[in-house]
Amino acid sequence: MTTESWSPTPGEGDENYEWSGDYGELMFCPTPDLPYGHIFIPLLYLAAFGVGLVGNSFVVWLLAGQQGPRRLVDTFVLHLAMADLMFVVTLPFWATAAGLGGHWTFGEGLCKVSSFIIAVTRCASILLLTGMSVDRYLAVVKLLDARPLRNRGCMLTTCGVIWTISILAGVPSLVYRKLLPMPVGPGSLCGDEPTDIFQWLSLLVLFLTFVLPLGIIIFCYSLISQRLWNPPHLGRGRKNSLRIIFAIVGTFTCSWLPFSILKTFFHIAHLRTLPLDCPLLLVLRWGLTLSTCLAFVNSSANPIIYLLLDRSFRARAHGACKKNHPPLPSRVSSTSSLSGGDSSIFQGWALGWPRNTRLALRLSLLRNP
């Protein structure tokens, strides 16, 4: 998907040409479209739409229809699935635009709304993952000391704050997204208005929705990993829990890190502080196109991770899909890879603890799952 007003056709230009950030100068710089992008990008978006729609809808249905008490971390999982579900709903529009070479045929209103939804849900997904990381840190590292912070009211308040921040972070997309004329030929594309204030706002949002959350996630899971690998050692649940944790974090990082780095260079270049010659401009454009695809696919990845790595999720899904077999009890099974960590981590971990510590932990879990 190309959302910027690039010049897609080669032209005559100086080999030593450097772009200062002025869109008017792009006409001198050859920046052709990514080869076969109009074919594989729509197919990729539609595949992510299909997988994400089915997978995230199933997770939402599984959690929303869960009987009995729900684990606290499942609140984050439910909101994360809802955010990914809203995200993938916009993908058919961008798939159509990519198949038409960037032409946006759905009007400026849908251009703004679709971009706003993407910005909000992207921010919400990252902040929800951060909230889950902090919750895992409190549950694994702080243990009983974190009990006052781990209650349902606190979780719901946190999710409400996350959605409020995400909506505010999406406002620049709602304001500055508009239909721009195609650089060559008739038609319009859905892109950002190239103003300096938008570039600064975008850099600020990028820092708040990627750099800062990623730092918190790495900090939390570093301490979690250190605690899990140190005595008392875990049993079988240790490797499985760590595998699920690092799969979620690794997928998130690999999906958004290339996009965030290239987007940072893009905004800095637009502020005329980073002149780019034509080859670098072409690499930046193609890199943004590919990294956008990678980032968008992340919205369909979490249900696959749950299905592949979390045995309790598979058991729960199997039980829910077969009417003659009731789902497993909620205390044994989990509806997400991270919520399943409560059972696998604590059950294996507690075997190496003194009896009174195990009893205190068990009592805390019963009162505050």
Q: What six digits make up the tokens of 70?
A: 């729900």
Can you give the pLDDT at residue 43? 95
Instruction: Give the tokens for residue 88.
Output: 């993938």
pTM: 0.76
67-96: b (≥16 Cβ within 10 Å) or e:
eeebbbbbbbbbbbbbbbbbbbbbbbbbbb
- pLDDT value at position 69? 58
Are 199 and 160 contacting, i.e. CB atoms less than 8 angstroms apart?
A: no
Domains of the chain: 33-367 (1.20.1070.10)
Q: Average pLDDT across each block of 10 residues of the chain; the chain has 369 residues. List them in order.
A: 34 36 47 82 94 92 71 83 94 93 91 94 91 83 71 87 94 90 82 85 86 90 79 56 74 87 86 76 86 88 84 75 52 39 36 45 47
